[in-house]
């Protein structure tokens, strides 16, 4: 241990912190619970004497500030008299659990819609990070936390974030690293971040690794040589369209085998592009954050809930075939109406949330709610959409009757109802 | 509502499609001399240390979704015997104190270890798919009483799982070159043979090696300049980290 309970550290200007206890230890350093004027904070202290470059980068990141609220960002740099450095950050709130806890089945998300909400936040956060000119460089299963009930995200371990194309010695974690990094041809940057982001999304949605399948059987032990082959030298996507040599192993990769078939076609294509075409063309064939945001939003929009078991399946818009039976329990899929606005289609069932890009295709607020599907308490068969957009909405039924729904009112879910949200945005309810 | 109950209600349908990711097995094995000469504080330190390790292991396991840690323990005196008939997960491995008895039949230990270090489909205990190089920690306080130990060791060395393993040996109060030679031959690397002189040093060494090596091998990012690639020898990284942590412990000598 580098510090002890009750150690007092002077921050200058009459300010100081007091060490309370060790919270955890990683490869790079130790994290302590400390108090500053009675307020709790986390303090990370590096075990090694870090380079001046490393210190400068950390300081620069602190000065530039947090890219988005989802990052648990360093707040204040500390220089210890013996030459060690550290930084203060906020504590991780109690409602967050690790991504590892989700992956291992210990803490599931409340629903698939909530899982997708988390994935969308993840992509939005990396979009912001990359737009700020940073790259993360070490995405792995230990970097992320989640609130299983709300889908809120927290990104930790931001120590290695640097200006893109600059590297301070971190390469990444095997199974998450882009193959060109494993092979030593490139150093981590935005493009390798994008590869690792796709791995994290694949793990989140399928509970599997995109490159682990039959080829695992070729190795007695997964040693360095096997790792180089599997993740660097010759990685083969387990769902490669033509090369079937590395399919997931029945009885071992159970979760991924049972989940992949029920992903929407456009999500499968996005993974295939990154994990197959993106190997050779790292700059142009890796699905970008913006593309993911659109695709994952469409996925969330077309979820419908099995009345028998609660599984949230896709409607099957892109497949041009409505899902007929629930993939989880085999009972018939529900009959649901949907709202179409331009190319967007959203299934309508009680509890369904509508988001800003539905009515404004230029909106980047993928998690900003603009409405919700509700159920009449007295007559459960009557459903409606409660919009919280700032203007009135006009609706016209099949008989041609036009009604104005005032701001905050409820649009009834009736087949073939035409809806005029504003001058430029019209929609229709279909079934 | 209990946490389990709440989890059951979350994503009910989704969980019917499998409830966790496939992980690679990381085997941690203790090979413990419980001959009569280990009686008293030496064996007491071993029993204590393994209990300490087991109280820290859940945290190590919770930090990674890549590896599933499996633990086994082999005790040897006049004969050799596994404490459990198969490697156990971190939550299922419960330590039972060992008692001292008999001689130091290292040959029997090597034979048992050899059987264990084969794939399950070949009658052993190693995973058929996706296992990473194991961690072996041998601890003994004297010369083997079985004369053919070297023959057995040579058989063991033919096993791929043994060759790639991270091997440590703890020489408990041993001073003779002859006894040290036995341990050097086991690890094949004098850097991972440690002389420990006190029960406290033994306890500390077991704990640091087991926990640090498991951490490094289950969950660490590669560092470097990138030249020559990002594949690192995890055994070497673990040895360096263990050495760093044991540097300040008294009564340990390399």
Closest approach of B37 to chain A, Cα-based (Å): 35
Interface test with chain B among A176, A220, A303, A306, by most B beta carbons within 10 Å: A220
On chain A, the residues whose CB falls within 8 A of the CB of B14 are: 108, 111-112, 311-312, 328
CA distance linking residue A227 with residue A32, whole number of Å? 34
Q: How many CB pairs under 8 A join A and B?
A: 180
Last residue of a domain, one of A30, A56, A89: A89
**Range A423-427 average pLDDT:** 92
In a domain, residue B185? The reply is: yes
* A186 to B226: CB separation less than 8 angstroms, yes or no: yes
Partner-chain residue, chosen from A203, A249, A306, that has the shortest CB–CB distance to B13: A306
Secondary structure of residue A373 in the 3-state scheme:
strand
In a domain, residue B105? The reply is: yes
Interface test with chain A among B6, B13, B134, by most A beta carbons within 10 Å: B13
* A104 to B23: CB separation less than 8 angstroms, yes or no: yes
> What does the pLDDT read at residue B100?
96
CA distance linking residue A356 with residue A410, whole number of Å? 17
**Which pair of structure tokens corresponds to residue B173?**
């109060």
pLDDT of residue B2 exceeding 60? no
On chain A, the residues whose CB falls within 8 A of the CB of B224 are: 169, 171
Smallest CA-to-CA distance from A112 within A347, A372, A312, A348 is with A312
Smallest CA-to-CA distance from B83 within B104, B70, B66, B97 is with B97
- DSSP 8-state symbol, A160: G
Interface test with chain A among B10, B69, B230, by most A beta carbons within 10 Å: B230
Partner-chain residue, chosen from A170, A249, A255, that has the shortest CB–CB distance to B223: A170
In a domain, residue A304? The reply is: no
Partner-chain residue, chosen from A148, A232, A255, that has the shortest CB–CB distance to B20: A255
On chain B, the residues whose CB falls within 8 A of the CB of A311 are: 12-14, 16-17
**Which pair of structure tokens corresponds to residue A329?**
């329990």
On chain B, the residues whose CB falls within 8 A of the CB of A261 are: none
> What does the pLDDT read at residue A391?
87
Last residue of a domain, one of A240, A262, A293: A293
Residue of A nearest to B229 (CA): A184
* Helix or strand (DSSP H, E) at B100: none
pLDDT band at A2 (very low <50, low <70, confident <90, very high): confident
* A224 to B231: CB separation less than 8 angstroms, yes or no: yes
Which CATH number fits the domain that encloses residue B121? Answer: 3.40.50.410
- Reported as a single tens digit per residue, the pLDDT across A354-382 is 999 999 988 999 999 999 999 999 999 99
* A259 to B18: CB separation less than 8 angstroms, yes or no: yes
Share of chain B above pLDDT 90, in %: 78
Which CATH number fits the domain that encloses residue A117? Answer: 1.10.510.10
Smallest CA-to-CA distance from A106 within B65, B108, B112 is with B65
Q: Residue written as tokens 């009345």?
A: A307
On chain B, the residues whose CB falls within 8 A of the CB of A333 are: none
> What does the pLDDT read at residue B252?
79
Residue of A nearest to B241 (CA): A27
Helices marked H in chain B: 3-9, 12-15, 41-62, 106-116, 149-156, 160-164, 177-187, 199-218, 234-246
pLDDT of residue A46 exceeding 50? yes
> What does the pLDDT read at residue B7?
54
Partner-chain residue, chosen from A98, A140, A182, that has the shortest CB–CB distance to B231: A182
ipTM for the whole complex: 0.90
* B129 to A99: CB separation less than 8 angstroms, yes or no: no
Q: In chain A, how many H helices and how many E strands?
A: 10, 24
The whole-model pTM stands at 0.94
Alpha carbon of residue A424 to chain centroid: 31
Helices marked H in A78-189: 99-103, 112-131, 179-182
Q: Are both A287 and A138 inside the same structural domain? A: yes
Q: Are both A350 and A429 inside the same structural domain? A: yes
- DSSP 8-state symbol, A374: E
Q: Are both A273 and A151 inside the same structural domain? A: yes
- Reported as a single tens digit per residue, the pLDDT across A58-110 is 999 999 999 999 999 999 999 998 999 999 999 999 999 999 999 999 999 99
In a domain, residue A345? The reply is: yes
pLDDT of residue B1 exceeding 50? no
Could you list the residue range(s) of the whole structural domain that residue B155 is in? 22-219+234-253
- Reported as a single tens digit per residue, the pLDDT across A381-405 is 999 999 998 889 999 999 999 999 9
Residue of B nearest to A217 (CA): B129
In a domain, residue A302? The reply is: no
Q: Are both A265 and A163 inside the same structural domain? A: yes
Mean pLDDT for chain B overall: 91
Buried residues in A12-42 as b, exposed as e (16+ CB within 10 A): eeeeebebbebeeebebbbbbbbebeeeebb
Q: Are both A166 and A42 inside the same structural domain? A: no
pLDDT of residue B143 exceeding 80? yes
pLDDT of residue B8 exceeding 60? no
* A140 to B131: CB separation less than 8 angstroms, yes or no: no
Residue A16 pairs with which residues in a beta bridge?
A: A10
**Range A339-349 average pLDDT:** 96
* B13 to A221: CB separation less than 8 angstroms, yes or no: no
Q: Residue written as tokens 């990052």?
A: A71
Residue of B nearest to A99 (CA): B65
Q: Are both A68 and A116 inside the same structural domain? A: no
**CA B131-B132-B136 angle, 5° bins:** 115
Partner-chain residue, chosen from B7, B15, B132, that has the shortest CB–CB distance to A221: B132
Q: Are both A224 and A123 inside the same structural domain? A: yes
> What does the pLDDT read at residue A75?
95
Smallest CA-to-CA distance from A297 within A239, A351, A361 is with A361
Residue of A nearest to B159 (CA): A220
* A255 to B14: CB separation less than 8 angstroms, yes or no: no
On chain A, the residues whose CB falls within 8 A of the CB of B128 are: 217
Q: Are both A41 and A108 inside the same structural domain? A: no
Closest approach of A225 to chain B, Cα-based (Å): 8
Last residue of a domain, one of A34, A55, A89: A89
- Reported as a single tens digit per residue, the pLDDT across B51-86 is 999 999 999 999 999 999 999 999 999 999 999 999
On chain A, the residues whose CB falls within 8 A of the CB of B17 are: 255, 258-259, 262, 311, 327-328
On chain B, the residues whose CB falls within 8 A of the CB of A183 are: 229-230
pLDDT of residue B90 exceeding 50? yes
* Helix or strand (DSSP H, E) at A137: none
* Lowest pLDDT segment from A22-26, A343-347, A348-352, B46-50: A22-26
In a domain, residue B225? The reply is: no
Q: Are both A211 and A243 inside the same structural domain? A: yes
Closest approach of B3 to chain A, Cα-based (Å): 9
How many folded domains does chain B comprise? 1
- Reported as a single tens digit per residue, the pLDDT across B206-215 is 999 999 999 9
Q: Are both A51 and A22 inside the same structural domain? A: yes
> What does the pLDDT read at residue B5?
52
CA distance linking residue A247 with residue A60, whole number of Å? 45
Q: Are both A168 and A274 inside the same structural domain? A: yes
Closest approach of A155 to chain B, Cα-based (Å): 15
**Range B238-246 average pLDDT:** 91
How many folded domains does chain A comprise? 3
Could you list the residue range(s) of the whole structural domain that residue A30 is in? 8-89
In a domain, residue B28? The reply is: yes
CA distance linking residue A119 with residue A198, whole number of Å? 10
In a domain, residue B66? The reply is: yes
CA distance linking residue B26 with residue A246, whole number of Å? 22
On chain B, the residues whose CB falls within 8 A of the CB of A224 are: 231-234
Residue of A nearest to B132 (CA): A222
On chain B, the residues whose CB falls within 8 A of the CB of A249 are: 129
């Amino acid at each position: 241990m580098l510090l002890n309970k009750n150690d007092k550290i002077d921050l200058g200007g009459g300010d100081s912190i007091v060490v309370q206890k060790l919270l955890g230890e990683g490869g790079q350093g130790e994290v302590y619970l400390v108090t500053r004027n009675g307020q709790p904070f986390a303090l990370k202290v590096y075990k090694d004497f870090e380079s001046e470059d490393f210190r400068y980068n950390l300081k620069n990141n602190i000065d530039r500030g947090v890219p988005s609220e989802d990052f648990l960002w360093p707040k204040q740099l500390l220089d210890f008299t013996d030459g060690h450095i550290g930084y203060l950050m906020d504590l991780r709130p109690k409602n967050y659990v690790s991504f590892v806890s989700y992956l291992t089945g210990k803490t599931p998300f409340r629903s698939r819609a909530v899982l997708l909400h988390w994935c969308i936040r993840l992509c939005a956060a990396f979009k912001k990070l990359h737009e700020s000119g940073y790259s993360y460089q070490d995405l792995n299963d230990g970097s992320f936390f989640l609130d299983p009930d709300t889908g809120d995200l927290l990104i930790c371990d931001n120590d290695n974030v640097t200006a893109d194309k600059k590297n301070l010695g971190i390469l990444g974690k095997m199974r998450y690293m882009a193959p060109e990094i494993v092979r030593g041809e490139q150093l981590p940057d935005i493009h390798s971040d994008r590869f690792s982001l796709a791995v994290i999304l694949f793990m989140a949605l399928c509970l599997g690794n995109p490159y682990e399948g039959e080829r695992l059987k070729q190795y007695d032990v997964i040693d360095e040589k096997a790792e180089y082959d599997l993740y660097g030298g010759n990685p083969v996507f387990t769902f490669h369209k033509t090369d079937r040599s590395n399919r997931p192993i029945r009885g071992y990769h159970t979760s991924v085998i049972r989940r992949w078939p029920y992903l929407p076609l456009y999500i499968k294509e996005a993974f295939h592009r990154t994990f197959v075409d993106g190997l050779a063309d790292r700059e142009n064939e890796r699905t970008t954050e913006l593309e993911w945001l659109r695709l994952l939003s469409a996925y969330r929009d077309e979820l419908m809930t099995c009345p028998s078991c609660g599984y949230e399946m896709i409607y099957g818009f892109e497949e041009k075939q409505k899902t007929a039976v629930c993939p989880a329990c085999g009972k018939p899929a529900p009959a649901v109406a949907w709202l179409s606005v331009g190319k967007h289609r959203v299934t309508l069932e009680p509890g369904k949330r509508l988001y800003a890009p539905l009515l404004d295709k230029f909106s980047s607020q993928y998690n900003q709610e603009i409405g919700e599907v509700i159920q009449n308490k007295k007559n459960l068969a009557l459903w409606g959409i409660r919009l919280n957009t700032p203007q009135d909405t006009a609706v016209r039924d099949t008989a041609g009757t036009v009604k104005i729904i005032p701001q905050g009112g409820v649009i009834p879910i009736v087949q073939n109802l035409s809806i005029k949200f504003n001058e430029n945005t019209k929609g229709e309810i279909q079934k | 509502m209990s946490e389990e109950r709440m989890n059951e209600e979350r994503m009910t349908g989704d969980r019917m499609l499998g409830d966790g990711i496939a992980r690679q097995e990381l085997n941690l094995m203790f090979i413990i001399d419980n001959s009569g000469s280990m009686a008293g504080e030496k064996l007491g330190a071993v029993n204590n240390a393994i209990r300490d390790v087991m109280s820290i292991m859940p945290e190590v396991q919770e930090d990674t979704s890549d590896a599933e840690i499996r633990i086994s323990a082999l005790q040897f005196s006049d004969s050799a015997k596994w404490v459990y008939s198969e490697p156990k997960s971190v939550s299922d491995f419960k330590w039972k104190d060992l008692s001292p008895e008999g001689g130091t039949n290292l040959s029997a230990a090597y034979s048992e270890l050899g059987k264990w270090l084969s794939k399950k489909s070949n009658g052993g205990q190693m995973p058929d798919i996706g296992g990473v190089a194991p961690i072996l920690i041998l601890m003994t306080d004297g010369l083997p009483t079985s004369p053919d130990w070297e023959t057995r060791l040579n058989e063991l060395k033919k096993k791929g799982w043994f060759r790639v393993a991270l091997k440590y040996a703890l020489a408990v109060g041993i001073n003779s070159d002859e006894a040290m030679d036995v341990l050097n031959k086991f690890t094949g690397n004098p850097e991972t043979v440690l002389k420990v002189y006190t029960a406290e040093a033994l306890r500390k060494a077991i704990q640091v090696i087991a926990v640090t090596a498991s951490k490094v091998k289950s969950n660490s990012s590669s560092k470097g300049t990138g030249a020559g690639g990002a594949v690192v020898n995890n055994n070497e990284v673990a040895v360096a980290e263990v050495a760093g942590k044991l540097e300040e412990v008294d009564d340990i000598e390399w």
